[in-house]
Amino acid sequence: MSDLPVLVTGGAGFIGSHLVDALLARGYSVRVLDNLSSGKPDNLPLGHSRLELIEGNVADAVRVREVMAGCGAVVHLAAVASVQASVIDPVGTHRSNFIGTLNVCEAMREQGLRRVLFASSAAVYGNNGEGEVIDEDTPKAPLTPYAADKLASEHYLDFYRRQHGLEPAIFRFFNIYGPRQDPSSPYSGVISIFTERAAKGLPITLFGDGEQTRDFVYIADLIGILLQALEAPQILPGAVNVGLNRSLSLNRLLEEISALFGGLPEVRREAARPGDIRHSQASDRRLRERYRLPEPTPMAAGLASLLGSA
Ligand code: NAD
Ligand code: UD1
């Protein structure tokens, strides 16, 4: 483990703040760069002596360079995480989600950093692999600006690997859920929205027929993988799916939430969202070849952990 701080972009967000907690617990120093567009300082243990939170935008190349100075590795999570937000604002999303990645790559090249973990997405597959298990070689079909920016970021990271010796560990996260996923925006993750509304007795909106599926991964299971990638002696080329070969329809998810809360509020049905993916189930073969994966958290246990925070 290096004594130099780990730079976590987007570290005040849902996934980032859990990673920061884990890094601090393992003795790392951590520098967070976040523009607080969806992240919150309250997600972080701000008084911690090994944590620095720096407000800034990854789309600002000068700021990225300044903040990276003296760091040993990077975890690049900063992005507009909502697929729908990218449909509404492709230009603004592109600045954060693609230019931000390029700025991180350039600053790493200039400063001689090598190891970077990157949060790509299952969205890069679009609707390919429908009815099948999606492995990393499934053809890519980005349907939205969000997906296109993630796929372009992957290609740039791979260019910097070949040309400049970066060691990118590229992960295609499927649907991650858990405490601190912000339920207040309609563009947040579906589990955080549904559980909060169930807890408050507010109507739930279901887009489409509810038969769309997602491969949901509990946050703690993801964090264990990210720590291994940060510390691995080497990173093999090629992106890695982070999904568990389990798919759950939204209708089934609502049944699970109903069982937990002893019933559901009114469920209002609306048309499917544009660019929404129908089916999503990951092959976890490569993930298990490269990383140790303890027994994944069952959905009922993951949902139960939200009861306290909903
Ligand atoms: P989040 O919105 O909680 O976290 C994103 C963080 O990035 C926030 O703290 C936000 O303020 C920050 N940010 C956004 N734009 C920024 C910018 N231009 N400059 C600096 N900071 C900026 O979402 P999350 O779920 O924690 O997502 C983290 C990463 O994982 C994102 O890259 C997202 O695309 C990716 N991802 C998430 C999921 C999921 O299911 N949650 C799945 C696939 C990929
Ligand atoms: C999510 C992530 C995205 C990631 C992708 C990878 C978020 C906000 N989005 O996108 O970053 O790249 O997984 O697979 O974390 N839905 C409803 N009602 C609601 C909200 C959502 O029916 O109130 C539906 C959506 O239409 C969709 C499903 O739930 O069919 C999942 O939506 P969402 O949680 O936004 O995730 P993805 O779009 O899969």
Segment 51-90, tens digit of pLDDT: 999 999 999 999 999 999 999 999 999 999 999 999 999 9
The total of structural domains in the chain comes to 2
Task: Give 295 Cα–ligand 2 centroid separation in angstroms.
Answer: 24
Kindly calculate the radius of gyration of the chain based on its CA atoms and give it in whole angstroms: 19
Residues 92 and 124 in one domain: yes
Q: Is 287 part of any domain?
A: no
CA 181 to ligand 2: nearest atom: 15
* CB 34 less than 6 A from any atom of ligand 1: yes
Is the ipTM of this structure higher than 0.90? yes
Let me know if 146 is a catalytic residue. Answer: yes
Residues 107 and 96 in one domain: yes
CA 37 to ligand 1: nearest atom: 11
Pocket residue to mutate for ligand 2, from 18, 140, 207, 257, most atoms within 8 A of Cβ: 207
Residue 192's domain is classified under what CATH number?
Answer: 3.90.25.10
* CB 138 less than 6 A from any atom of ligand 1: no
Residues 224 and 122 in one domain: yes
DSSP 8-state symbol, 214: E
Q: Which ligand is nearest to the CA of 19?
A: 1
Spot the catalytic one: 146, 160, 218, 291: 146
Segment 114-140, tens digit of pLDDT: 999 999 999 999 989 888 999 999 999
Q: Whose CA is nearest to atom 39 of ligand 2?
A: 175
CA 15 to ligand 1: nearest atom: 26
The sign of the torsion formed by the CA atoms of 82, 83, 84, 88 equals: positive
Segment 221-249, tens digit of pLDDT: 999 999 999 999 999 999 999 999 999 99
Provide, rounded to the nearest whole percent, the portion of the chain with pLDDT above 70. Answer: 99
* Per-residue pLDDT band at 310 (split at 50, 70, 90): very low
Residue 15's domain is classified under what CATH number?
Answer: 3.40.50.720
Residues 33 and 99 in one domain: yes
41-80: string of b/e by CB count within 10 Å (b at 16+)?
Answer: eebbeeeeeebbbeebbbbbbebbbebbeebbbbbbbbbb
Task: Give 87 Cα–ligand 2 centroid separation in angstroms.
Answer: 13
* CB 251 less than 6 A from any atom of ligand 2: no
C-alpha–C-alpha distance, residues 46 and 68, integer Å: 19
Q: Which domain holds residue 302?
A: 180-214+246-282+296-307
Residues 114 and 253 in one domain: no
Q: What tokens appear for 118 in the block?
A: 């990157």
C-alpha–C-alpha distance, residues 61 and 302, integer Å: 38
pTM of the model: 0.97
- Cβ neighbors of 79 (< 8 A, separation 6 or more) are 10, 96, 97, 100, 119, 149, 150
Residues 227 and 85 in one domain: yes
Residues 102 and 203 in one domain: no
**Contact by Cβ (8 Å): 138, 199:** no
Segment 39-49, tens digit of pLDDT: 999 999 999 99
Q: How many CB atoms lie within 10 A of CB 90?
A: 15
Q: Is 96 part of any domain?
A: yes
Place of tokens 């969205």: 123
- Cβ neighbors of 70 (< 8 A, separation 6 or more) are 4, 5
DSSP 8-state symbol, 282: B
